[in-house]
Structure 1
């Protein structure tokens, strides 16, 4: 089985222990998704499980966006099956290590990023009756510049049972600014009402070199704090503890300290 071969290479040290389950955003082909994952792998030195969904439907931009939202909602069932299968593999590995204590093994760190409209896929999935506790396999679930309604996001996001949940914010995000023309304020560009119980909010607005960047993971150049935050998150650690971040109680968010 491919999964067992991959795990064996992790246990032997041939592959890193840090893994990212990546759900891409709007208007990205399967080939484009692989290329994006290669960039993430090269920058952060993590192994990636790429989840691809039909986000580029073709046609006029507004119709394409609407169709992509429908495709994201329909893809929630495929995401459920994928996470259940992945959880089953991890459970088999845990059983094997328990039954065969002499078997070499190391702790895996599995984290998830849903990027932009990919977060709408996650929201749709979590709101479905099929969702139970599939997200418990992740150390960190990261909502990266999420193209979802900010209002009442706690109604669904607090149901996630990973070890930690993070949501990034850039109020000057150029892509989400366009999205708000036809949508209510987006979670990824709204630093208000950050009152959900579980998420740790990371507000990168006006941080050096962030500007109007949408893809904070890949496209911020020359800001070591941002890079260290994501490196920590993708290793299963607590990104909010990175030196250079400070907690702003007025927002209930961590921000880059410019002092």
Structure 2
């Protein structure tokens, strides 16, 4: 990991990436190309604010037996300590513990086109402050192709997004595994408390009632996914692989915002997403970035899902039109910035969405286009 610091800060954020990691300081360690070990190679990096910039700390690759035993004991994990375990286990335990003790949801965030790591962290920080969630960004090599610009830059990022589809599958697979592991541990601890009180099984109804009550109070962690702009294109291509984790029941809500992917036939891949609550697709017809996106590659580019109110036909998606909502205007990132700062109802919708709640009950349904509308 080059010159990365090994000192971890208490005020931090975890970032998952398939970018190359170079020698350097701060965010300069993040390269603009995929890992030399292949685009599916994932690294977890802990970043923390250092003055006006960021410091980056390596998450240890392989954990010592002592550390694995400590984590097993602290979090009551059903794991074999004789096997190899890696830093991702520490990351998962820390995130889960933080979410439970602070009563927060975890929001995994996949960014869009032409975002360097500084842009991603700035957005993640703002989301955390706006919605009181823990944000874990997945950052892929979306830098517009370096020196090139315009259509070539856009197409370069689309190519990187397709190449990163395997990495996003590995990322979601790890989320699923660790969430199940830590949730199982929490529920086993609750079960042991119930069994201790009703050890003779003389009152199974009372035992079941106590178990349900304790589970409700334990604040089982909600995890949600936000894909913005070209991040949706990456998600779409991750579903086209033969071995994908993104179609499994992992998230409470999946939020597809300002999706820079084709509207045509989107139901084919959206319907393969499985969630505990909702798949939300948020649309702004006046989105200037998506209008520009549509014309960049010429006639080959079709209407974008995030700015088109026709053919909204996925059986498992909830479509939300925010075009006429106050302060949305032609914005592309209307889940942050002036749009939500000026429109408390819009902010409330995203707050519920990013915290694993349903939102459509507060919106007007337009049956002719199969879409809810915020005005």
Q: TM-score w.r.t. structure 1 length?
A: 0.92
Structure 1 residues 10 and 196, CA gap change in structure 2 (3 angstroms)? closer
What does 1:13-52 correspond to in 2, within 5 Å?
Answer: 13=101, 15-52=102-139
Q: Does 1:180 align with 2:294?
A: yes
Could you tell me which residue of structure 1 aligns to residue 357 of structure 2? Answer: 237
Q: 1:197 aligns with which of 300, 311, 315?
A: 315
Question: What TM-score do the two structures reach when normalised by structure 2?
Answer: 0.65
Determine which structure has greater relative contact order: mean sequence separation of CA pairs < 8 Å that are 6+ residues apart, divided by chain length.
1
Aligned to 2:370: 252
Q: Compute the displacement of 1:162 (Å).
A: 1.1
- 1-structure distance, mates of 2:187, 2:222: 18
User: Tell me, which stretches of 5 or more residues in structure 1 are unaligned?
Assistant: none
Distance 1:235 1:8 in 2: 17
CA contact (8 A) 2:103 2:219 kept: no
Q: Which runs of 5+ in 2 are unaligned?
A: 1-89, 194-213
Q: Which has the larger radius of gyration?
A: 2
Paired residues in the alignment total 253
Q: Runs of 4 or more off by more than 2 Å in structure 1?
A: 5-11, 97-106, 132-135
> 2:110–2:227: 8 Å Cα contact kept in structure 1?
yes
Which residue matches 1:127?
240
Correspondence 1:61 to 2:150: yes
Displacement after TM superposition at 1:153 (Å): 0.3
CA apart distance, 1:152 = 0.8
Distance 1:23 1:132 in 2: 15
What is the 5 A alignment of 1:96-115?
A: 96-101=185-190, 105-115=218-228
CA separation of 1:180/1:8 partners in 2, compared to 1, >3 Å: closer, same or farther? closer
After superposition, give the CA deviation of every residue in 1:175-215 in whole Å (9 maximum; x if it has no partner). 00111113110000000011111110000112222111111
Shift of 1:99: 3.1
Separation (CA, whole Å) in 1 of partners of 2:243 and 2:292? 32
RMSD over aligned Cα atoms: 1.6
How far 1:60 sits from its partner (Å)? 2.1
* Distance change (3 Å), C-alpha of 1:253 and 1:235: same
Deviation of the 1:134 alpha carbon: 5.2
Offset at residue 132 of structure 1 (A):
4.4
